[in-house]
Amino acid sequence: MAGKSEPISTEHVAVHAWAGQIQLLLLVIALAALLVAPMFLYPIFLMKLLAFALFASAFNLLLGYTGLLSFGHATFFGGAAYFTAHAVKVWGWSPEFGILLGVAGAAALGLVMGAIAIRRQGIYFAMITLALSQMFFFFCLQAPFTHGEDGIQSVPRGHLFGLIDLNQPMNMYYFVLAVFILGLLIIWRFVNSPFGMILKSIRENEQRAISLGYSVQRYKLGAFVMSAALAGLAGGVKALIFQFATLTDVTWQMSGEVILMTLLGGIGTLLGPIVGAGLVVTLQNYLATSDFPVTVITGVVFMVCVLLFRRGLVGEFFASKLGRKLGFRAGS
């Protein structure tokens, strides 16, 4: 599942005449559901779901559309959380500038890590990202500004643009929702741009892309930095949601968690990582107070999906006759 996506059935299925309208209707329903969701569900839970959905979508940009499996994306997520938390709490920055610093810091980390990692392919690439991520973890453990195992706590949410009080749960929720939608729009535009098309060609056949004259290393690095920056956006928002940044955000387990989310939902689709993140976060939330071990249940769900839904939940639906009739495809 981490490599090339499995070929979709070549059976010809006519696209329904109203496929575009149906997709638009589903999008409107989903947006309306997100707008009213905090009236029925706990806002903190919803904000966590949105933050991790954006994190998984950022990771999918690298894995699903470029074919690069990174084991070190917690570096960008957790690093941005630390940068944002420190800027807002210690330097007194406003939340929007704190998040922008987190994004810039994550992009810089992505540039350094990506420049080193893209020199190798396959499992070697993955292992290099893991090793560099562990180096950053130990840096966070020792650096004075991170406060070691205590982390940065009691991070003030402040006022957005000096006007909107983010300490109000509903204000904070709609801010997180706006950031989530903005992140998805950036990913959608990136994937459907000429740059994104070249990334897909690199994923499918790197040697052919090289033979066509494309600088594959530069495109890989560009995708790596963009993925890191968007993961940093999710991490910065997460630091404001929970008002702390800790070592948990930069552990290898966090990198594994985002891989799990993406694979469960389906790589190479915009909707897949969101569904996968929703599933994992929901399991964690509702099983946290039960006697069931969350990691075991999550592992069982993952095994079932691997056995029954090889392309992920959303990937299998898109590949089904109904999905194709509605005009869905990988990348949509």
Please check whether residue 14 is in contact with residue 321, taking contact to mean a CB–CB distance below 8 angstroms: no
Asked if 237 and 83 count as a contact pair (C-beta separation under 8 A), the reply is no
- pTM reported for the whole predicted model: 0.89
Q: What is the pLDDT of residues 74-101, one digit of tens each?
A: 999 999 999 999 999 999 899 999 999 9
Helix (H) or strand (E) holding 221: helix 216-242
- The 3-class secondary structure across 315-327, one letter per residue, is HHHHHCHHHHHCC
Residue identified by tokens 């928002």 is: 237
The pair of structure tokens assigned to 159 is 């006022």
Note the pLDDT tens digit of each residue in 43-67: 999 999 999 999 999 999 999 898 8
Rounded distance, CA 192 to CA 181, Å?
A: 16
Confidence at residue 249, expressed as pLDDT on a 0 to 100 scale: 92
Q: What is the pLDDT of residues 163-193, one digit of tens each?
A: 888 999 999 999 999 999 999 999 999 998 9
Per-residue pLDDT of 197-212, as tens digits, reads 999 888 888 888 888 8
| Category of 212 on φ-ψ map: left (φ > 0), alpha (ψ -120 to 50) or beta | alpha
Instruction: At 119, list the tokens.
Output: 């020199």
Each residue's pLDDT tens digit, 102-130? 999 999 999 999 999 998 888 999 999 99
On whether the CB atoms of residues 97 and 156 are closer than 8 A, the answer is: no
Give residue 329's pLDDT: 65
- CA–CA distance from 324 to each of 11, 13, 15, 21, 319 (Å)? 10, 7, 7, 14, 6
Cα distance between residue 293 and residue 285, in whole Å:
12
Check if the beta carbon of residue 236 is closer than 8 Å to that of residue 242. Answer: no
The two most distant CA atoms of the chain are separated, in Å, by 61
